[in-house]
Each structure stands twice: as structure tokens, then as C-alpha cells.
Amino acid sequence: MTQTAPRVMQDEEDVLDVRNLGISFRTPAGEIPAVRDVSFRIRRGETLALVGESGSGKSVTSLGILRLTPKPPFCSITGQVLLRGRDGTVRDLASLPEDEMRDVRGRDAAMVFQEPMTSLNPVHRVGDQIAESIRFHEGLSRRAALDKAAGLLDLVGIPDPRRRLGAYPHELSGGMRQRVMIAMALACEPRLLIADEPTTALDVTIQAQILDLLRRLQERTRMAVIFITHNLGVVAEIADRVMVMYSGRVVEQAAVRPLFRSPLMPYTRGLLRSVPRLDFAGLGREPLAAIPGTVPDPLEPPPGCSFGPRCGGFLPGTCDAAVPPLEEARPGHQVRCVRWSALTGEAA
């Protein structure tokens, strides 16, 4: 990759600055662009929620940031991923050599996945799994690393942490495993935590515990969090800002309140309306406002706006003419829809 743009972040508080990120996969059926032209910044202590349905590119974006996607030529990454590390240095992760990338993962940026059982190694004790990262990045002895691991298990609310160090993943409940994953991710106090659907596999009462835990940890460490989810209730609860993705592109980005109060993109409005509301429970059964159709096939995207075929505001000749640009509709509120003003009745 050519390295012409300077590795400068505009703001000291910025932890991550993603510029024009593109990720595509080579498949027998052809080149699939999974993520196209994604740009965003995230500051210390901030939580950015990445929202979208299956195939929207939200998980691939997060994997691409840490370069956990397959190696070239099966997968190619374009654009810049500037990360300010723990030592203050700014690196472009999109072009960093793999051995340096290994130092970044876990130390400057860490990740928590959806399914804690498949992300933990079943044949190693959880204490050793947490200690491994500490020993790798900080060069501590096994004993010192295990001491630190016990402190981390205590921090994430696991009772009797010393004893739990010796437990195997299958001996823990789903919620406990996810706490272990979080402890592991936090072991080296990263600046950036990427959490990919971390509560989706958990029961609601356990989800509430984990969200509460993440919030408390973030207050303490001021780490930046990218929280990937499809659950709009969770978004409302934890996000400062929200980025909505559809078919590999960002279609709307705004602070959490304006996004929920006055969403500008028809897709976002449709998503918000399709969730059954608790306050209407048991009051008759108006059909839910479902979005018709399904997400487009990435190999055969529709012309123009990729949400066009499912959109109630679709205007032939306009919406299918070209991919709409991401427009700054209000300060800090971006939308990818040429008709947002006409459809919402709000002035541009």
C-alpha cells in the first residue's frame, strides 16, 4: 500500500481514526466488497455502536481494524486505520507489518467476541489464558502474571478469583466466560476495546450485568469502545455515537440521541420501527412495521442506493442513478440518502 497521507491525528483525544477503509474478499464467485469507504473517529472514553444486520459489514470492519481478516490475496484491505497506542505513537494498522501488528493486538487494542465458549481455549485453565497475554506484552514472570490475572478476574466481578484461575472454560457459565474474555481483553489496559456482539449469546439478566461491567470499566480506564450489535435497545443504553451500516457502507452516523429521536436514513427509521415496543405490550396487535424484502446479494448489488429495493421512499431515476454520497445533514449527523430531506420533511 502506498503511504502518502501523513500519520497525523487531528485531535489528541482521538484513539482511532479510520479513513476510507475498504475490505474485499476473493471468492470463486468473484471479488466481494464487504466493506466500502468506511471512515470514522473515536475518542478516549467514547463508545461507538456499530449497528447493522447480517451481511452489513459491521463485523468485517472490526476484524479488519485489527487485521484479523484472512491474509492477502484472499482478502485485501485499503485505506488507513490510525491507532494511537498506549505509548502515544500513531500507527497505521492497515499497512503495519504482521510482527508489529502482533504487538498492537492485546496491548493497544483488544477484542471481545460473541461466543465466549469458542473464543476460549477449552484445554487451558482460564488463569493461564489471561496470563499469556500479560507475559507476552509485559514480560512478567508466570507467577506475577497470574497475580495480575487474579486481580483482573476480581475486577470483572468473578467471585473467588484465586480459585477460578484454575478453572477450565467448560466449568464456567456463559456470563462468567464472557467476564473472563473481558478480563483477558483488558489485561494490558488497551486504549481501544472492540466488542463484537458481546452480550448476544447471553440471557437478558446476564446481559445487564455485562453492560454494567463494561460501563464501569470504561469510566475507570477511559478506553474507547467499539460496540458491535444488532440490538437497538443495547445501543440506546451504552452508545455515545452510532454508526449504521448497510450492505458494506455507512448509511448514517450521529450521536445517540439525535439518531433515535430523528433518524434521517429510511433504513434506520425502518429498523427502529420494526422493534416491538415494551410499552405497547398486550395492547392489541397492530402488525409490526417490518422492512420488506432482504439484504441484497453482495455479488449483484442493485444500482444506486443499495437499500433502494426495500425502501418506501424509492424514486426511480433518482435513487438508482448513483450510490448516494454520505452527506453531513446536520453538524455531526451524516446520512447516505439523496432524499432524506424530502422524506423526513426536514430542511437540509
Partner 1 sequence: MHPQPNEAPPLLEVQELRKWYGGPREGLFRRRSVVKAVDGVSFDIRRGEVLSLVGESGSGKSTVGRTVLRLTSPTSGRIRFAGDDITTLSRDAMRPFRQKMQLVFQDPYASLNPKMTVEDIVGAPVEIHEPGLPRAARRQRVEETLALVGLLPSHAARYPHEFSGGQRQRIGIARALIMQPQLLIADEPVSALDVSIQAQVVNLMLELKERLGLTILFISHDLAVVGHISDRIAVMYLGRLVEVAPTRALFTMPRHPYTEALLSAVPIPDPTIQRERIMLTGDMPSPLDPPSGCSFRTRCRYALPACAGAVPALREVAPGHMKACIRDDLHLAAPTGLAA
- Binding test (CB under 8 A) with partner 1, winner from 1, 68, 288, 299: 288
Is the distance from CB of 178 to CB of 202 less than 8 angstroms? yes
- Binding test (CB under 8 A) with partner 1, winner from 71, 143, 170, 285: 285
Contact characters 70-99, partner 1, x per CB under 8 A: ------------------------------
- Binding test (CB under 8 A) with partner 1, winner from 5, 275, 299, 322: 275
- Which lies closer to partner 1 via its Cβ, residue 43 or residue 230? 230
Contact between 103 and partner 1 (CB under 8 A)? no
Please give the Cα distance from 58 to 243 (Å, whole number). Answer: 9
The 10 Å Cβ neighbour count of residue 300 is 7
Q: How big is the CA angle at 45 (ends 42 and 48), to the nearest 5 degrees?
A: 45
Q: What CA–CA distances, in Å, run from 153 to 13, 45, 149, 164?
A: 29, 22, 6, 8
- Which lies closer to partner 1 via its Cβ, residue 7 or residue 230? 230
Retrieve residue 180's grid coordinates: 473472563
Name residues contacting partner 1, limited to 173-202 (CB under 8 A): 173-176
Q: What is the largest CA-CA distance in the chain?
A: 68
Contact between 290 and partner 1 (CB under 8 A)? yes
- Binding test (CB under 8 A) with partner 1, winner from 38, 134, 234, 251: 234
- Which lies closer to partner 1 via its Cβ, residue 134 or residue 176? 176
Question: Closest approach of Cβ 183 to partner 1, in Å?
Answer: 17
Contact characters 5-24, partner 1, x per CB under 8 A: --------------------
Question: Closest approach of Cβ 90 to partner 1, in Å?
Answer: 32
Using only C-alpha atoms, the chain has a radius of gyration, in whole angstroms, of: 21
154: helix, coil or strand?
A: helix
Contact between 296 and partner 1 (CB under 8 A)? no
Among the residues of the chain, which ranges form H helices? 58-65, 98-104, 116-119, 126-138, 142-155, 161-164, 174-186, 204-221, 232-238, 256-261, 266-274, 340-344
Contact residues toward partner 1 (CB under 8 A) are 53-54, 173-176, 203-209, 211-212, 230-237, 239, 256-257, 260-261, 270-272, 274-283, 285, 287-292, 294-295
